[in-house]
Amino acid sequence: MKSGLFLFIYSILKAFLPLPSLEALLLPLCLLYPDKAFFYSMLSGLGTCIGGHIGYEISDHYGRKAALKFVSEEMMASAVEKFKKMGYLYIIIGSLSPFPDFILSYAAGILKMNRWIFMLLDGGCRWIRSLLLIYFSAALNEYFQFDRYISILSILMLCYFMGRYFLKKRS
């Protein structure tokens, strides 16, 4: 149960902070406890939805002023118009891909997307993504038996995502 709580809290934080990918926790947990995989995917989807709402609220209240320090008012107005036309598609594609969660929530808040639609799209699509990852990892586990090497796999995934994060932050 502690692992589920940790995953839930991490998925909330991951949705509005630049942390290593959620898959670094989700996949090893699902391979280690395949009977709880659906539960873990539900927790990560719900946590992403809550965290996305927190990021949305932060950027809705403070993001526009901060963004205007870097872009002009005309660029902001243009971005709002484009986001009104294609924003839902951006959220769906971004949520189904490994695109960073926090960027989506901040963009949706700054560009004034409907918060409830954002939460449903982002949380729902992230949950679908979690289900797909779990399904494919379980299918691949039948052939490669990742669960034998779960500790090594977990450490390698965590090192990869943390290394990628710190290299991006450094440059």
Q: Rounded mean pLDDT of 10-25?
A: 82
Which tokens sit at 38?
């659906």
The percent of residues above 70 in pLDDT, for the chain, comes to 91
Does the structure show a pLDDT above 60 at 147?
Answer: no
Least confident of 63-77, 82-96, 136-150: 136-150
pLDDT of residue 141: 66
Query: pLDDT tens for residues 98-110?
Result: 777 788 888 888 8
CA dist 15 → 63, 73, 150 (Å): 16, 27, 25
Q: Amino acid identity of 39?
A: F
From CA 83, how far away is CA 27, in angstroms rounded? 32
From CA 22, how far away is CA 167, in angstroms rounded? 18
| Confidence band of 145 (pLDDT split at 50, 70, 90) | low
The label of the residue with tokens 């839902």 reads 88
> Closest by alpha carbon to 26, among 137, 102, 142, 113?
137
Does the structure show a pLDDT above 70 at 63?
Answer: yes
pLDDT of residue 149: 65
pLDDT of residue 4: 83
Q: Amino acid identity of 32?
A: L
Question: What is the residue-wise DSSP string for 57-95?
Answer: HHIIIIIHHHHTTTS-HHHHHHHHHHHHHHHHHHHHHHH
pTM, 2 dp: 0.73
Query: pLDDT tens for residues 117-139?
Result: 888 888 888 889 888 888 877 77
